[in-house]
Homo-oligomer: A and B are copies of this chain.
Amino acid sequence: WWPGGLGKVSTHALVYARLITDGQDHGVHGFIVQLRSLDDHLPLPGITVGDIGMKFGSGAYNSMDNGVLRFDHVRIPRDQMLMGVSQVTREGKFMQSDVPRQLVYGTMVYVRQKIVADASCALSRAVCIATRYSVVRRQFGSHNGGPETQVIDYKTQQSRLFPLLASAYAFRFVGEWLKWLYTDVTQRLQASDFSTLPEVHACTAGLKSVTTSATADAIEECRKLCGGHGYLSSSGLPELFAVYVPACTYEGDNVVLLLQVARFLMKTVSQLGSGKKPVGTIAYMGRSEQLLQCHCEVERAEDWLKPNVILEAFEARAARMSVTCAKNLNNFPNQEEGFAQLATDLAEAAVAHVQLIIVSKFIEKLQQDIPGKGVKRQLEILFNVYALSLLHKHLGDFVASGCITPKQGALANEQLRLLYSQVRPNAIALVDAFNYTDHYLGSVLGRYDGNVYPKLYEEAWKDPLNETVVPDGYHEYIRPILKQHIRVARL
């Protein structure tokens, strides 16, 4: 149920199924199974296959034959088992592979780093449309008969839109880094070095979860930021949303993934006393004693512009949330029961850890050479917007864990407002930089030339309903009602 292309098109499937020889279960393995005849495309005996029906959106995955498949006593030859690692001999004997199980994680890391890169891509499309339209669209605030205010100049529009713009950049940079991480872990796996695998797994699982959830919400927010017209298919946003949201569910449900990250965090905390030093993205936990006590030094709003101040606040928040969870887990007689009971807190601790990774990779990006005059300055502004808007959104975490005071939180908010004013003049340049063609964006509202309203009008006339001036069904349905009403009214 669900595999794409299965319902009507595919002739063969790769089926994961339990291997049982001589009554003994050897776990799940892969098998190539022919589904349909290569002569007439009819399903082979014992095989029932079909489409699972309509899905979200008017287009989206509805052009894909996601399928349902049922086997009834289907036999396949032994050599259609994928035997690269484990084998079944001609005599029916199962040969366990000595290839380390961890190798399968390599593919998962690959797929998930790809999903993070895709998140940035989808998010930047939505942000590009909403930003361009927010400049074109004017509403209220006309003085002396002059033009109304461009909606992008409203602080409420800026505070919703610019953090999403900043996120699109943040996800792109962390995605680039993740690509490097995949290469690194692949080389290590080939050399049978599994030492970084748990951290890499937690990191990619967490980033997949956080970036896809944020992107799905952001596309819908961008749609709302375009007002009523965002609801039109010609805005491109409904389709983008319907196509994108499955990313929150496929390749690991986002909440389940956060709990995997949390398990890694709890393991790291429990080993802190053991002398095993945390590495990579979890290295900060090695300084947890210091992080549990530190107090943010911000006294004025502009102090929040310093990357090291922001980094410390995010590290302190993440470390304290993990340590608190670990402490609370100890109150349960049974660790598994504790993990089940505290699952929501653990997921929140995982989000804090992952947001810290994104923040720290953005900082690392800013420490590199960045070509183009003034580009680095713009990215610094976006970095501050990204970090401080997260801080505002999760203020409860930061204040509750004691690393920042409510007063410092208010100063961050004040700084954020100033930052929005700095993003504003370059907002269009920052979305033009994604370099999307009008064809690719597929949005009347997000047109590069800003010529939105005439094109919106033009687009409407292309609708098949407009091919006739008097609609189909007028004579059959509308006219009889109208004539009847008129007769009644004249009685």
Given A220-B220, A469-B42: A68 in contact with B248 (beta carbons within 8 A): no
Instruction: Evaluate contact between A470 and B40: CB separation under 8 angstroms.
Output: yes
Instruction: Evaluate contact between B56 and A466: CB separation under 8 angstroms.
Output: no
Instruction: Evaluate contact between A402 and B406: CB separation under 8 angstroms.
Output: yes
Complex interface: chain B residues within 8 A of A156 (CB): 255, 259, 343-344, 347
Partner of A396, one of B61, B159, B409, B486: B409
Q: Does A65 reach chain B (CB closer than 8 Å)?
A: yes
Q: Does A54 reach chain B (CB closer than 8 Å)?
A: yes
User: Which of A7-15, A79-87, A187-195, A374-382 lies at the interface with chain B?
Assistant: A7-15
Complex interface: chain B residues within 8 A of A76 (CB): none
Copies in the complex: 2
Q: How far is the CB of A5 from chain B (nearest CB, A)?
A: 11
Complex interface: chain B residues within 8 A of A57 (CB): 57-58, 238
Given A53-B460, A55-B231: A224 in contact with B238 (beta carbons within 8 A): no
Q: How far is the CB of A37 from chain B (nearest CB, A)?
A: 10
Instruction: Evaluate contact between A53 and B463: CB separation under 8 angstroms.
Output: yes
Instruction: Evaluate contact between A231 and B245: CB separation under 8 angstroms.
Output: yes
Identify the 3 closest CB pairs spanning chains A and B, nearest first.
A395-B396, A56-B238, A400-B406
Q: Does A99 reach chain B (CB closer than 8 Å)?
A: no
User: Which of A128-136, A169-177, A471-479 lies at the interface with chain B?
Assistant: A471-479
Q: How far is the CB of A336 from chain B (nearest CB, A)?
A: 10
Instruction: Evaluate contact between A460 and B42: CB separation under 8 angstroms.
Output: no
Q: Does A52 reach chain B (CB closer than 8 Å)?
A: yes
Instruction: Evaluate contact between B470 and A42: CB separation under 8 angstroms.
Output: yes
Q: Does A227 reach chain B (CB closer than 8 Å)?
A: yes
Q: Does A38 reach chain B (CB closer than 8 Å)?
A: yes
Instruction: Evaluate contact between B50 and A466: CB separation under 8 angstroms.
Output: yes
Complex interface: chain B residues within 8 A of A470 (CB): 40-42
Instruction: Evaluate contact between B224 and A248: CB separation under 8 angstroms.
Output: yes
Q: Does A45 reach chain B (CB closer than 8 Å)?
A: no
